[in-house]
Amino acid sequence: MLSKHHAANALPMASPGRALLLSKRMSSPLHLPRAVTQEVDQWQDEFTPLQDRRSDPPLPLPPISKPKAVVIVRHGQSTWNAESRVQGSSDASVLTPKGIAQAEASAKMLASDRFDAAYTSPLERASLTAEYVWGSRPTPCFVDPVLREIDLYDFQGMLKTEVKQQYPAEREAWQTAPNDFVLSGHFPVKELWYRASLAWQRILAEPADADRLLVVAHNNTNQGLLCTALGLPATYFRRLTQSNAAASVLSITPSTQPQGTPTATLECLNRSTTNNPFKKGEKVLGRITLLVPSNNVDKDSVCAAFMAMTKVDSILYAQGHEHFAHQAAQAQTGQCQPGVGTLQGEEGMACAWAQLVENACSREGGQHIVAVMDDRAAVQMLGQAMDLEPHRSPQVFRCSPGSCSVLDITYLSPRPFTVANCINLKSEEMALVMASRK
């Protein structure tokens, strides 16, 4: 049984005394690897004694002896999600009926998955989601306070419109330069990246023989977990965002060197059987979907039909994929048929990506461009989208035949950058998403 770690909380629990089918874990202050100079801080809450609010560089992944798969899930929609209220690490926000339905859908999606252990944030919106997902599994599920949501100090509990009115300069910095954003004497994003790296020290260490693990936490926390595992700095904040109750999967491989740092690969981002990956975010300049055919008639029919869930303005195909490009175009029933053309990849992947971005952002409101290519080209294209060196792309990303990845070109910083709505969503999941919308 789990009892949440709570001290004097600034905000009351929404449902005190609720029984949790989990196990209490790790509520004592952390033994940090070295002393650092901290800012004088008057901001206090129940997590202050943990002493984990540090803007130090993230720790590397700890050595492991066997490969591990880690499934990372965000909580279902919460009351403060619905109200557009800043949650941070406060615990007054609880799951809405929609959020509970999302958690149940996630539980169903993962019902056949085997897990050796699970870890969850202590905040109720995450721990209740973990209860649904974990179900009656006999193996332990641990609460770890370092998995709480990003600490947003004075913003917590405020409507986003109130933040804009009362903290205009801070809100602008939060939107345009989150990596360097300072609030209440803290660097929230840098602290989150460090805290996520602390979580990995525990998740990968215990149980030592575990090879399949589940983590249930929060949008920003999960971004920190993904990015620190993949070796991506805090400047990647908001680029691998997490949808409510969706799952992202990391495969983590031991180093070939004794006590070396493991290598992590993102197998998928925002796997879901209900969420619509085509829902537009803020300040989107254009959208690019990487569509990977499988040469399987049934799977390719699903992929083509999935594109009919949204308006497509143009389809560009790499050599050898003209037939499937036309199949996807013809699936756009009830809408104007998109133009079909070739993807100019002769001069390299960077030029091909530049062509896609130019097309996607070529008019007011943006366009949706679908690029059809094989799995290896899609991995390299993801690397271009995420500003990786070409040799790193196959280490960081995975794309499977019969999959799609949805990318938005967004303007929330001094320059446009790419946000991934989903990566490597497979045809089986596409079919379930379409079925959920009938």
Q: Is 296 known as a binding-site position?
A: no
Q: Is 80 known as a binding-site position?
A: yes
- Set 75, 186, 218, 368: catalytic member: 75
- The predicted pLDDT at position 222 comes to 99
- The predicted pLDDT at position 346 comes to 60
Taking a C-beta distance cutoff of 8 angstroms, is the pair 251, 407 a contact?
no
Q: Is 6 a catalytic residue?
A: no
Which residue type, as a one-letter code, is found at position 194? Answer: Y
Q: Is 287 known as a binding-site position?
A: no
pTM metric for this prediction: 0.90
Q: Is 253 known as a binding-site position?
A: no
Sequence spans of domains, the chain: 48-271, 284-436
d(CA 290, CA 179): 28
Taking a C-beta distance cutoff of 8 angstroms, is the pair 143, 45 a contact?
no
Instruction: For residue range 207-220, list pLDDT tens digits in order.
Output: 778 999 999 999 99
- The predicted pLDDT at position 34 comes to 33
- The predicted pLDDT at position 33 comes to 35
E strands present in 373-416: 403-410
Is the CATH number 3.40.50.150 carried by domain 284-436? no
Q: Is 353 known as a binding-site position?
A: no
- The predicted pLDDT at position 206 comes to 75
For the chain, the 3-state helix, strand and coil shares in percent, each to the nearest 5, are 35, 20, 45
Q: Is 400 known as a binding-site position?
A: no
User: Torsion angle of alpha carbons 52, 54, 60, 64, nearest 10°?
Assistant: 0
Q: Is 125 known as a binding-site position?
A: yes
d(CA 287, CA 436): 23
Q: Is 195 known as a binding-site position?
A: no
Q: Is 389 a catalytic residue?
A: no
HSE of 127, CA atoms in CB hemisphere, 13 A = 29
Q: Which residues of 387-413 are buried (b: 16+ CB within 10 A; e: fewer)?
A: ebeeeebbbbbbbebbbbbbbbbbebb
- Set 46, 149, 191, 267: catalytic member: 149
- The predicted pLDDT at position 35 comes to 32
Which residue type, as a one-letter code, is found at position 137? Answer: R
The burial of 242, by beta-carbon neighbours within 10 Å (0-12 exposed, 13-18 middle, 19 or more buried), is given as buried
Taking a C-beta distance cutoff of 8 angstroms, is the pair 130, 118 a contact?
yes
- The predicted pLDDT at position 97 comes to 98
Identify the segments of the chain with pLDDT beneath 70.
Answer: 1-42, 346, 412-414
| Structural element, H or E, at residue 330 | helix 322-330
Residue for token pair 């049934």: 298
- The predicted pLDDT at position 17 comes to 29
Q: Is 241 known as a binding-site position?
A: no
Q: What is the CATH number of domain 48-271?
A: 3.40.50.1240
Cβ-based neighbours of 255, under 8 Å, separated by 6 or more:
63, 261, 262, 263
Q: Is 79 known as a binding-site position?
A: yes
Q: Which of 209, 24, 205 is nearest to 116 (CA)?
A: 209
The angle subtended at Cα 156 by Cα 155 and Cα 158, nearest 5°, is 75
Which residue type, as a one-letter code, is found at position 362? Answer: S
- The predicted pLDDT at position 16 comes to 28
Q: Is there a shared CATH topology between the 48-271 domain and the 284-436 domain?
A: yes
Instruction: For residue range 383-398, list pLDDT tens digits in order.
Output: 999 999 999 999 999 9
